[in-house]
Structure 1
Amino acid sequence: MLNADPQELSKFGDLAHRWWDPDGEFRPLHQINPLRLDWIAALAALPNHDVIDVGCGGGILAESMAQRGARVTGIDLSVKPLKVAQLHAMESGVAVDYREIAAEALAEERPSSADVVTCMEMLEHVPDPGSVVRACATLVKPGGWVFFSTLNRNPKSFLFAIVGAEYVLKMLPKGTHEYAKFIRPSELSRWVREAGLEVHEFKGMEFNPLTKRYWLSGDTSVNYMVACRRPR
Structure 2
Amino acid sequence: MSPHQEPHATITIDQEAALASGAERLTREFDGTFGRETIDRFLHASYTDLAQRATVPNYLPLLTEKFARQRLRALAKVDGLHVDGKPTVLFLCVHNAGRSQMALGFFQHHAGEHAVGWSGGSEPGHEVSPVAVEVMAERGIDIAGEYPKPWTDEVVRAADVVITMGCGDACPVFPGKRYEEWTLPDPAGWTPEGVRPVRDEIEARVLNLLAELGVPART
Q: TM-score if structure 2 supplies the norm length? A: 0.32
Q: By percentage of residues, which structure has more helix?
A: 2
Q: By percentage of residues, which structure has more strand?
A: 1
Larger radius of gyration: 2
Q: TM-score if structure 1 supplies the norm length? A: 0.30
